[in-house]
Amino acid sequence: MTIRSRSAASSTALPDELPPDATRVATGIAIVLVAQLMLVLDATVVNVALPRIDADLGFGPAALSWVLNAYALAFGGLLLLGGRLGDVRGRRRLFLVGLGVFTFASLLGGLAQSPTQLVLARAAQGIGAAMAAPSVLALLTTNAPDEAARNRALALFGAVSSGGASIGLVLGGLLTDVASWRWTLFINVPIGLAVLLLTPRFVHETPRREGRFDVVGALTSTVGAVSVVWALVGAPEHGWLSARTLGMLLVGALSLALLVRTERRHPHPLIRPSLLADRRRVAALVVMGFVIAGQLSMFFLTVQYTQRALGMGPLATGFAFLPFSIGIFTMSRLTPSLLARHGAGRLIPVGAALLLTGFVLLSRVSESSTYVAGVLPSMILSGIGGALVFMPVTATVLSGVEHEHAGSASGLLQTVQQLGAAVGVAIVASVYAVGAEPESFVPGARAAYLTSATFAAIALVVALATLARIRRGAAPAPEVEDERVPVPDLAA
Last-in-domain residue among 205, 232, 267:
267
Q: Are residues 105 and 118 in the same domain?
A: yes
The reply to whether 6 falls in a domain is no
Report d(CA 255, CA 221) in Å as an integer.
Answer: 7
Measured in degrees and rounded to the nearest 5, phi and psi for residue 316 equal -65, -35
The reply to whether 487 falls in a domain is no
The letter for the amino acid at 408 is: S
The winner for highest mean pLDDT among 30-34, 41-45, 189-193, 488-492 is 189-193
Residue 32's nearest CA partner among 251, 245, 268, 200 is 200
Report d(CA 313, CA 322) in Å as an integer.
Answer: 15
Report d(CA 214, CA 219) in Å as an integer.
Answer: 9
The reply to whether 14 falls in a domain is no
The winner for highest mean pLDDT among 197-206, 286-295, 412-421 is 286-295
Q: Are residues 349 and 401 in the same domain?
A: yes
Q: Are residues 195 and 230 in the same domain?
A: no
Torsion sign across C-alpha atoms 339, 344, 347, 352: positive
Q: Are residues 283 and 335 in the same domain?
A: yes
Determine the Cα angle at 180 with ends 174 and 181, to 5°: 85
Cα 379 versus chain centre, distance: 18
Cα 28 versus chain centre, distance: 21
Q: Are residues 462 and 404 in the same domain?
A: yes
Last-in-domain residue among 233, 251, 267:
267
Structural domain span for residue 115: 22-213+268-474
> Residue 82: is its pLDDT beyond 90?
no
Q: Are residues 200 and 346 in the same domain?
A: yes
The reply to whether 37 falls in a domain is yes
Flag the least confident range among 42-46, 337-341, 429-433: 42-46
Q: In the structure, what pLDDT confidence band is assigned to residue 291 with cuts at 50, 70 and 90?
A: very high
Average pLDDT, the chain: 80
Q: Are residues 289 and 406 in the same domain?
A: yes
Report d(CA 457, CA 54) in Å as an integer.
Answer: 36
Provide, rounded to the nearest whole percent, the portion of the chain with pLDDT above 70: 85
Q: Are residues 108 and 142 in the same domain?
A: yes
CB 409 within 8 A of CB 402: no
The reply to whether 139 falls in a domain is yes
Q: What is the CATH number of the domain that holds 118?
A: 1.20.1250.20
> Residue 476: is its pLDDT beyond 50?
no
Determine the Cα angle at 247 with ends 243 and 249, to 5°: 125
Q: What mean pLDDT comes out for the span 178-188?
A: 89
Q: Are residues 183 and 228 in the same domain?
A: no
The reply to whether 486 falls in a domain is no
Per DSSP, the residues of 257-272 read HHHHHHHHH-SS-SS-
Count of structural domains, the chain: 2
Q: In the structure, what pLDDT confidence band is assigned to residue 264 with cuts at 50, 70 and 90?
A: confident
Residue 130's nearest CA partner among 172, 78, 199, 189 is 78
The pLDDT of residue 356: 96
The pLDDT of residue 487: 38
Q: Are residues 258 and 325 in the same domain?
A: no
Report d(CA 15, CA 215) in Å as an integer.
Answer: 45
The letter for the amino acid at 452 is: S
The reply to whether 490 falls in a domain is no
Q: Are residues 59 and 77 in the same domain?
A: yes
Residue 110's nearest CA partner among 89, 124, 127 is 124
The pLDDT of residue 11: 41
Q: What mean pLDDT comes out for the span 429-444?
A: 80
The pLDDT of residue 143: 66
Flag the least confident range among 98-102, 157-161, 254-258, 460-464: 157-161
Q: Are residues 132 and 223 in the same domain?
A: no
> Residue 431: is its pLDDT beyond 60?
yes
Torsion sign across C-alpha atoms 346, 348, 352, 358: positive
The reply to whether 166 falls in a domain is yes
Determine the Cα angle at 199 with ends 486 and 270, to 5°: 50
Residue 132's nearest CA partner among 92, 164, 187 is 92
The pLDDT of residue 18: 43
What pairs with residue 440 in β-bridges? 437
100 class by beta-carbon count within 10 Å (0-12 exposed, 13-18 middle, 19+ buried): middle
Report d(CA 23, CA 170) in Å as an integer.
Answer: 31
